[in-house]
Structure 1
């Protein structure tokens, strides 16, 4: 497509397809791929847990920095996604192409930062959490996390190319790339961890290597799918110059999202510090919880990835009815997904923990912990979808405020106070408490967004 062309070869399906069918078409592939992503995260930990509980704890303690890495990738992608989809809705294809090219450069510089951090920050990061209490956990964790960060170019490239596909409605190809990467990871995990089929026995490092290879495979597949099938957006670097207005617009949405997800890194870091005071097993339980919650939340995040471009496109195209129907239907689907998580956490916590080779002590701590934490699934669906609506309409700042209040101003202080007053068995109530506060603040912002933005969009048509 010529950059100067001002007309699309055909109307994008995000502006014409019936909403129910469109939501299914856009989100189901993303939900499946995110579910597989969560599955291979769980499989990683299941294999690592077979090495030892210390190995599982080491990988769990890596989560804050891994979350930061993912936050930068996905946050930048959310900013790119919102601007690119809005530009396509406005039929401004030159701006859409420029958005993609500028975002590619941002991802490159992001990788350089994490490459340097992989050599410099990992050891002090582990030392700050466990001190010199257990050298085995520290050394295993350093091996794992350094590998993931130094070779993070695969993850960042994968996120970039998949977001390009999602922005233009080609979620089936995004699903294909994620599935390919996840399956590669799952196959390589036991081979590299335990030294099967003539491969060296690499232990925890093998899990990291399998993850990196899977990410690189997914990036290659997503890059090929963009080149071959994505005709709405073209990456052009001939005569390229950074457009600081576009970069500013990307980060206006992206930075609040990055901060919002990075707050999760701060939260997990602080929770690890609180729980390690009781035992390393308590920290392992917390790590297992995060792996398990991803299995139930990742499909909701996949749903969000599908609805973000739909809402942004129809906002740009002036189609309020389509926006509202997308929001309502996505909330219904999100509730159904998180309710399944609630039932599993309440009904079969022993089975869930048993997948991770749980010791008797781990079951004693973990079963009541999962049942208490599981209560927040009854609320989380609303807060997650509301945050996506804020981002799609260029108000990611609201999502950031909700996340900061929930995790820094409520959850961590509540966990610390409960730990001091009631011990380990009441710490877990901090999660439902924080979710209730998140519900109240999200509701306030959603009402405000509806009054100031959504209600002013023309009615349009379904």
Structure 2
């Protein structure tokens, strides 16, 4: 089967499955990848080290913000170029994503190294957690170029229809991280520092695989420096289209910092608990995000080729899948809520807070996938601004003030419901905005 058949004529359920299943697996691999550090650090039995990893989580989220901007934007731009049969532009997009990721990664590494102390103080690190957080940050910082590039190009590889290869790249990094975590954290006694080293090595290995893919296997893309350009709408086409996803991640980082600062007032146990809950709840969220991201090349290709009927069919089928998967995953997590938290740590106080927080965070699980599909649809038709608004609202303009308000009115019990309330508001608004955009497109 060639790429054109997959994108344009294969029955929608089969096309969605072929594109989405590897993407879902890649997303779940990412979840396992993110869970690994917290899990193995938790096995030390030290809540302070778990709290330190939680406090530094915004750094990794920030890396993912740029990776998602270049990756999602590059995927959308590459998919449209494929639909238009523009081979040169496909190569320019992949080269831009590569070198932009490396440049930003190096810049972030330098910033973190130079301003590490004020950054960690801003994140809420105290005298008990500072040294653990500093060690973790140092080793994750020099891995920034590899972390950002390997994550970004996985989206671009999927745009070529090579979902299996994108999945393999993600799995290489994850398997390496999972193997190295217990060796470095417990075996060599490095604790939280070992988790950061394992993460960086895993991403370096994933990057090597993607380098091989572009040099030896890719039919449409290139990472040759001669194709690198910011002109002809490449920079704006990639960055503007990927901006909603990037804004989403950046504001997630900011809101995580705010949440940690609020929780520190209640002690280190709630901070450790929320770190575990973030990682556990990622399973529900990323499962549906994987579905939505997996079909993005299908959406972009069919919009670029003018096949509106197939575009709508892909959208509707994906939404049905997201709702079904969301309900099943949320139900499973509700039943196993305490064992899930205890899987990471056995500290009684942390488990107590973790169970309460997990219940609150998974309330939006059944519907959050609709938000991701609507945002991807907007990005695929070149309407990035409404998707950006949704990102800003969900992780910034609504969530952050709501956290402070709930804390003032209801204390800790109120704060933990802030994300679910924001999610429902974002899902409703996304449905309204996308419906208007779709009607405007249909009238053309």
The interval holding the TM-score normalised by the smaller chain is over 0.9
Count of residue pairs brought into register by the alignment: 442
Corresponding position: 1:394 with 2:386: no
After TM superposition, list the pairs within 5 Å mapping 1:18-417 onto structure 2: 18-51=11-44, 52-130=46-124, 134-195=126-187, 200-238=188-226, 241-243=229-231, 245-417=233-405
Contact 2:330 2:362 in 1 (8 A): yes
**Alpha-carbon spacing, 1:419–1:97, altered in 2? closer, same or farther (3 Å):** same
Contact 2:74 2:93 in 1 (8 A): yes
CA distance in 1, matches of 2:415, 2:395: 14
Contact 1:144 1:205 in 2 (8 A): yes
Contact 2:324 2:366 in 1 (8 A): no
What displacement does 1:380 show? 1.2
CA distance in 2, matches of 1:54, 1:148: 18
What displacement does 1:272 show? 0.7
With 350-359 and 337-346 compared, the bigger mean Cα shift is at 337-346
Q: Which has the larger radius of gyration?
A: 1
CA deviations on 1:350-397 (whole Å, 9 max, x unpaired) are 111101113221222222222222211133121121112112222222
CA distance in 2, matches of 1:446, 1:266: 26
Task: Tell me the equivalent position of 1:434.
Answer: 422
CA distance in 2, matches of 1:423, 1:255: 34
With 207-216 and 35-44 compared, the bigger mean Cα shift is at 35-44
**Alpha-carbon spacing, 1:402–1:202, altered in 2? closer, same or farther (3 Å):** same
CA deviations on 1:29-51 (whole Å, 9 max, x unpaired) are 11112212211321221110122
Contact 2:71 2:153 in 1 (8 A): no
What displacement does 1:410 show? 2.3
CA deviations on 1:285-319 (whole Å, 9 max, x unpaired) are 11111101112222222222211111000001111
Task: Tell me the equivalent position of 1:4.
Answer: none
With 239-248 and 171-180 compared, the bigger mean Cα shift is at 239-248
- Provide the secondary structure at the position in 2 that maps to 1:378: coil
CA distance in 2, matches of 1:79, 1:248: 9
What displacement does 1:456 show? 4.8
What displacement does 1:171 show? 0.5
What displacement does 1:425 show? 1.8
**Alpha-carbon spacing, 1:389–1:97, altered in 2? closer, same or farther (3 Å):** same
CA distance in 1, matches of 2:4, 2:437: 28
Structure 2 residue runs of 5 or longer lacking an equivalent are: none
Contact 1:260 1:399 in 2 (8 A): no
**Alpha-carbon spacing, 1:10–1:372, altered in 2? closer, same or farther (3 Å):** closer
CA deviations on 1:431-461 (whole Å, 9 max, x unpaired) are 22212211221111111121122x257xxxx
With 333-342 and 80-89 compared, the bigger mean Cα shift is at 333-342
CA deviations on 1:148-192 (whole Å, 9 max, x unpaired) are 122222212312432231111111000111111111110011011
**Alpha-carbon spacing, 1:116–1:373, altered in 2? closer, same or farther (3 Å):** same
Structure 1 residue runs of 5 or longer lacking an equivalent are: 1-8, 458-462
- Provide the secondary structure at the position in 1 that maps to 2:175: helix
With 258-267 and 234-243 compared, the bigger mean Cα shift is at 234-243
CA distance in 2, matches of 1:432, 1:344: 18
Contact 1:315 1:393 in 2 (8 A): yes
CA distance in 1, matches of 2:334, 2:158: 34
**Alpha-carbon spacing, 1:136–1:327, altered in 2? closer, same or farther (3 Å):** same
**Alpha-carbon spacing, 1:357–1:72, altered in 2? closer, same or farther (3 Å):** same
